[in-house]
Structure 1
Amino acid sequence: MRVELLDPRHDPEPGDWEELRQAAGQRVTWRYDLLRAYAWSAQAPLALAVARRDGRAVGAVAASLRSPRLRRGAYADRRGPAGVVDVHAPANRSQKGWWWRGDPDPDLLPACTRALRRHLGPGWRGTVWREVSDGEAARLPGRLGLRLPTAPLATLALPWPDLDQWYAVLDPRRRDSLRRRARTIAAELSVRVGPAGELVSADEAARMRAENDLKHRSRLTPAPPLPLPYLEALIGSGECVALTYRRRGRLLGLSLILDHAAWPICLSWGAVPVEQGGRKHLYFDGYVRMIEWAIGAGRSGLVLGKGQAEVKSDLGAELVTSSALAVPW
C-alpha cells in the first residue's frame, strides 16, 4: 500500500478523489474544494492522507497538525517542529476522520500513520483519534495511551412511513407540546425545507452561525467559525439541505443538513435570540421539521449530531458513545 500526503491548500485534487468519495458514501464535507476552503481558515495545518493499493485509491485519513501555540485564534500557516496529529473530520464532529471504500482495510490506518511519522519527523509524538466507537480501538495502530469519553452521537432510525407514527412513539406530553408548537409556528412564520442554494445565502448562513457560536465562546477550545468561501461551496453544492424560519423575509432560524441517500447529518443550527426579535422554541420545532423531511425523502435515518443528548433521546434517538484516544509514537 502506498500513501499520498496532501495539503489541500496547495496540492491539486487527485484525479480520482471524487470517485473515491462517492464510492465510500462520504458526505459533501469531504469534497476537495470544501477541504481546501476549510484548510485555509483552520487554526492548524490540515493533512490529507490518501491510501492506494495497486494505484487505486482505497481510503483516506484527515488530520490537523497541532503544535504548541503562543496565541490562540491565529491561523497557523505552517506546522511547527513538534506536535500531535489530531485525526478528525474537517468541519463536522458527527463523522470520523478516517474511512475507506468497501470493507474495512486493516492495512490502511497503519500505513497512513507510518507515512505521517516519516513526513513529520521525530518531534511529532503521537496521534489523537477522535469519535472512536466502542470496539474500534483494536483497529487503531500502536499502543493505546490516554482514553477520554466524548459527547455521544445521537442517531435516529426512521422506520415510520409518516410523521404521525413517529409522534406516536413519543411521551404524550412531549408529543402534544411539539404538535401544538408546530401549528403555532407555522401560522406565524414561513417555514421551508429544501435545497440550501434555493433557501439561504452564504452571508445569511455565516451570520446565523456566528450568532450561534457566541453561545459557545466559553469553551476551552471553541471551534473556529466556518469561512464564507466554505459556506458558499457547501450551500451551492447540491448536497446540502436547509431548514429556514423567516418572518417578513428576515431569517430567524437555520439548520443545515448534509444530505445522503441513507443517513443525512444535521450539521448546524442557529437562531436569532428572542431579545433581538427571534422566536421561542424554534430549536425543538426544528427537529420535527427535519424528521418530517427525512421521512418524506425516504431516508433510513437522521444523524442528529452531538450536544443536547437528553433532548434528542426524548425524541427517540439512540446515543452512540465514543471516545478520543491518544496513541503515542
Structure 2
Amino acid sequence: MNATLQVLDPRHDPEPDDWERLRLAAGQCVTWRYDLLRAYAWAAQAPVLVTVLRQDGVAVGAVSVSLRGIARRRGVYADRRGRVGVLDVHAPANRSLKGWWFAGEQRPELLRDYVGGIRRELGPGWRSVVWREVSDGEELPGPARLRLPTAPLAKLAVPWADLDGWYGTLDRPRRDSLRRRARGFEGIVRVGPARELVTAAEVAELRAMNDLKYRSRLVPTAPLPLPYLERLVGGDEVIAIAYRGRRLLGLSLILDHPSWPVCLSWGALAPEDGGRKHLYFDGYVRMVEWAIRAGKAGLVLGKGQAEVKSAIGAALVPSSALWALP
C-alpha cells in the first residue's frame, strides 16, 4: 500500500492535528515537537520541509529534509527553494537521531514513496538524496550510492540497581578518580528539570562556546536561536545537569524519553575563564546516576569523544551518510 505525503513548511504551515500523537506513538524526543521544528526552520541555513507519511489517511511516519541549494551563498538563509539542489535528510537540531521514523514497525518501503513524492513536489532538479545517521545494513531507496562513514553513536545501557554497579565495570584508576572528584563537586551540581535550573540565555552562551570547537563540517549548522532554546528548556521533557558557582560553570541537557534519553549537549567555562577542571567527566557520573534512579534502559550519549565514552562502558554504533544519486 503506497503512502501519501503531507509536505509541510513548519515556518508557515499549521501543525497537523495528529502530529503530537504521531510523535509520541513513535517514541520521538521533544526536538520533534512542532513548535520546536518551526523555531528551528526559521533559523536554519537552508529551507526545511517536514513530511507526514500517511496510509488511508492515518499518519504512520515522518521525514525531515533540508533543501541544500547549489547556488546558495554560504551562511545566508535561503527562503527560496531554487531549482537545483540536494535533499539532506537529517533530524533537526539533533545529530543523535535519524531524520526519518515510523510509528510502530519500521516501514523502509514507504521511503521509496517519500523520495518519489518529494521529487515531484520540488521538480526535476532535486534528484540526489543524502541520508544521515544510517545504520549498518539499513535499507534505503536509491540506485547508486556513495557511503561515507561518520562518527559512531555512543549508547550506554544502565542495567544496574545503583551507581556502584556502573563503577564496578570501570578500571580501578578511573573509578577512584571519578568517585573522588564527584565528592568535590557535590556542593555545586544540581540535576532536575531544565526549566528550574537554567535560563535559555545561559544555555545559548555555553552551547556557543562548545559548538565552535566541535561543530561538524559535514552538516552545516547555525547556532540554535534563543527562541528555540526558550521553548526547549521551558518544557517538561528536558533534564539539566547544572554546575554553579557564582555563575553557571557547566551544563548538560538531556532529552527525556521513557527508555533511552538522549544527551543533547554539553558546555562549560574553560578553567582560565573561571571554570572548573574535570566537569566533563563528572557529568557522566551524574547522567548515569540520574538514568539509574529514573529507571531508564540506557542513555544515548551522542557523537564525538568516542574513546572517552567507550572507556566508561558505552557501545559505539557505526553510522554513515549515504548519498543516493539519481
TM-score, length of structure 1 as denominator length? 0.96
> Is the CA contact (8 Å cut-off) linking 1:216 and 1:222 kept in structure 2?
no
| Cα displacement (A) at 1:217 | 6.4
Q: Letter of the aligned partner of 1:147 in structure 2?
A: R
Q: Residues 307 and 164 (structure 1 numbering): CA distance in 2 closer, same or farther, change over 3 Å? A: same
Deviations 1:285-320 (CA, angstroms, capped at 9, x unpaired): 101101100111000000000000000000000000
Structure 1 residue 172, shift from structure 2 partner: 0.8
* Counterpart check, 1:110 vs 2:133: no
Which amino acid in 1 is paired with 2:148? L
Residue aligning to 1:183:
183
* 1:196 and 2:194 correspond: yes
1:94 aligns with 2:96: yes
Of 219, 223, 226, which aligns to 1:225?
223
| Separation of aligned partners in 2, 1:175 and 1:65 | 46
Query: After superposition, what is the alpha-carbon deviation per residue over 1:238-285, rounded to whole angstroms, capped at 9, x for unaligned?
Result: 00000100003x100011100000000000000011111000110111
Instruction: Tell me what 1:291 maps to.
Output: 288
Alpha carbons 2:152, 2:318 under 8 Å: kept? yes
- Counterpart of 1:24 in structure 2 is 26
Give the letter aligned to residue 39 of structure 1.
Answer: A
Q: SS of 1:77's equivalent?
A: coil
Give the root-mean-square deviation of aligned CA atoms.
1.3
SS at match of 1:124: coil
2:108, 2:140 within 8 Å by CA — same for their partners in 1?
Answer: no
Does structure 1 conserve the Cα–Cα contact (< 8 Å) formed by 2:44 and 2:221? no
Which range moves more in the overlay, 209-218 or 50-59? Answer: 209-218
Aligned residues: 324
After TM superposition, give the deviation of residue 219 of structure 1 in Å: 4.4
Q: Displacement, 1:107? A: 3.3
Residue in structure 2 matching 1:301, options 298, 303, 317: 298
Question: What amino acid does structure 2 have at the position aligned with 1:104?
Answer: Q
Within a 5 Å distance, the mapping from 1:71-82 to structure 2 comes to: 71-82=73-84
Counterpart selection for 2:272 from 272, 275, 298: 275
Matched residue of 2:277: which SS? coil
Aligned equivalents of 1:32 and 1:219: distance in 2? 27
Determine if contact 2:72/2:78 at 8 Å carries over to the other structure: no
**2:198 corresponds to which letter in structure 1?**
V
Is contact 2:51-2:64 (8 Å) kept? yes
How far residue 143 of structure 1 moved from its aligned partner, in angstroms, is 1.3
Structure 1 residue aligned with 2:9, among 7, 10, 20? 7
Any stretches of 5+ residues in structure 1 without a counterpart?
Answer: none
Match for residue 160 of structure 2?
A: 160
Q: Which moved more, 1:77-86 or 1:207-216?
A: 207-216
Corresponding residue for residue 151 of structure 1: 151
Matched, 1:316 2:313: yes
Matching residue of 1:207: 205
Moved more, 213-222 or 120-129: 213-222
Contact 1:155 1:305 in 2 (8 A): yes
**Native 8 Å contact 1:206 1:226 kept in 2:** yes
Q: Secondary structure at the match of 2:50?
A: strand
Report the CA distance between 1:71 and its aligned residue: 2.9
Q: Against the structure 1 CA distance between its residues 152 and 120, is the aligned structure 2 distance closer, same or farther, given a 3 Å change threshold?
A: same
Task: Pick closer, same or farther for the CA change 1:222–1:83 going to 2, 3 Å.
Answer: closer
Amino acid of the structure 2 residue aligned with 1:294? A
**Residue of 219, 225, 233 corresponding to 1:235:** 233
* CA distance, structure 2, for counterparts of residue 193 and residue 36 of structure 1: 28
Shift of 1:222: 5.0
Secondary structure, aligned partner of 1:146: strand
Amino acid paired to 1:276 = D
Residue 212 (structure 1) shift? 1.2
**Secondary structure, in 3 states, of the residue corresponding to 1:84?**
strand
Give the TM-score of the pair, scaled to structure 2: 0.97
Measured against aligned partners, the alpha-carbon deviations of 1:201-220 in whole angstroms (never above 9, x if no partner) come to 11111111111123236947
Q: Deviations over 1:44-86 (max 9, x none)?
A: 0001111111110000000100012553222111212100000
| Structure 2 unaligned residues grouped into runs of 5+ | none
Number of the residue aligned with 2:263: 266
Is the 8 Å Cα contact of residues 155 and 320 (structure 1) preserved in structure 2? yes
Deviation, structure 1 residue 223: 2.5
Matched-pair identity in %? 69
* Match among 83, 86, 89 for residue 85 of structure 2: 83
Alpha carbons of structure 1 residues 324 and 99: separation in structure 2 relative to 1, 3 Å: same
Contact residue 144 and residue 325 of structure 1 kept, 8 A: no
CA distance in 1, matches of 2:49, 2:119: 12
